[in-house]
């Protein structure tokens, strides 16, 4: 993103609020809190984080919101009610996305429904295809658990990106691999997996077999494979979280 020198606006995220009106479904606020309608229905950028069940003080008292952080021409935060259809469809779509897809720009679109309802649809801006989600049993979805799962996945990607930024330019590939191994160690310990369980999974999933029992099989994995293994362990941790 280009940095413009000289006088200009304060460099802070632009909040976008979801609300179905007669001719638009979201808006921004001016400095004097006037609503500024956004007539375009889609915002394309890279998702950089998410905050679920965030307690926010409003004119109607304290309420819980979902804040999606996305970097486009500037940083934006899309804010919606935690119990809203927009928030629910957003979380379902994000849950369906792979880690690889979350590394690339995505299009967040508002879709008006009946009465005051607004849905969220996520598109691939290259293929123009939407992310299909199932609404079967959506009333029984535990939004707290779903939100925690999505938050772990998105924020882990950003933490990894920050780690890469902080790594010096002369670090070796083996040192990077060691960082990934250490991260998998943390998740394995949290899951209480034994070394035998880990070796058995890696042999079945990647066909990796260690000839020496004292040597971790994970050392034979590529960076892509170890990242995939970390995703799997994180998913197991999310499933084990109490509801």
- φ and ψ of 44, to 5 deg: -110, 130
Per-residue model confidence as pLDDT tens digits over 21-73? 989 999 999 888 899 999 999 999 999 899 988 888 877 788 899 999 999 88
pLDDT at 90: 94
The share of the chain scoring above pLDDT 90, in percent, equals: 30
Please, which residues have CB within 8 angstroms of residue 49's CB and are 6 or more apart in sequence? Answer: 68, 69, 154, 155, 158
User: Does the structure show a pLDDT above 80 at 170?
Assistant: no
Dihedral angle at the C-alpha atoms of 136, 140, 142, 147, nearest 10 degrees? Answer: 30
Measured N-to-C along each axis, helices 223-240 and 195-206 cross at an angle, to the nearest 10 degrees, of 120
Per-residue model confidence as pLDDT tens digits over 123-152? 999 899 999 887 776 667 777 888 888 888
CA of 71: how far to CAs of 103, 116, 192, 214, in Å? 12, 27, 37, 45
The share of the chain scoring above pLDDT 70, in percent, equals: 81
Count the helices and strands in the chain (H runs, E runs). Answer: 6, 8
**What confidence category does residue 243 fall into, taking pLDDT thresholds of 50, 70 and 90?**
very low
pLDDT at 168: 43
Please, which residues have CB within 8 angstroms of residue 217's CB and are 6 or more apart in sequence? Answer: 198, 199, 202, 203, 208, 209, 210
119 and 18 Cβ atoms separated by less than 8 Å: no
Question: Up-side HSE of residue 231: CA atoms within 13 Å toward CB?
Answer: 16
Which of residues 112 and 186 earns the better pLDDT score? 112
170 and 181 Cβ atoms separated by less than 8 Å: no
Determine the 3-state secondary structure of 52 from DSSP: strand
pLDDT at 214: 41
**What confidence category does residue 198 fall into, taking pLDDT thresholds of 50, 70 and 90?**
confident
Read off the tokens for 120: 């969220």
pTM for this one? 0.64
Q: Give the DSSP letter of residue 207.
A: -
pLDDT at 159: 63
């Amino acid at each position: 993103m280009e940095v413009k020198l000289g006088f200009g606006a304060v460099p802070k995220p632009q909040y976008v609020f979801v609300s179905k009106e007669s001719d638009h479904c979201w808006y921004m606020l001016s400095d004097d809190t006037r609503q500024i309608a956004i007539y375009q229905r889609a915002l394309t950028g890279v998702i950089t984080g998410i905050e679920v069940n965030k307690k926010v003080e409003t004119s109607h008292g304290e309420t819980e919101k979902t804040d999606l952080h996305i970097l486009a021409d500037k940083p934006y935060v899309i804010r919606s009610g935690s119990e809203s259809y927009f928030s629910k469809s957003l979380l379902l779509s994000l849950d369906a996305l792979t880690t690889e897809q979350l590394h690339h720009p995505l299009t967040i679109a508002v879709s008006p429904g009946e009465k005051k309802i607004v849905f969220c649809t996520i598109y691939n801006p290259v293929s123009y295809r939407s992310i299909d989600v199932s609404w079967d049993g959506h009333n029984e979805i535990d939004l707290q658990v779903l939100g925690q799962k999505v938050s772990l996945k998105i924020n882990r990607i950003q933490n990894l990106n920050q780690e890469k930024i902080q790594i010096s330019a002369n670090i070796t590939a083996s040192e990077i691999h060691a960082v990934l191994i250490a991260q998998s160690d943390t998740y394995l310990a949290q899951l209480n997996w034994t070394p035998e369980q880990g070796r058995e999974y890696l042999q079945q999933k990647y066909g990796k077999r260690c000839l020496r029992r004292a040597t971790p099989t994970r050392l034979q994995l590529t960076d892509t494979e170890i990242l995939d293994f970390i995703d799997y362990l994180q998913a197991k941790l999310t499933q084990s979280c109490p509801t």
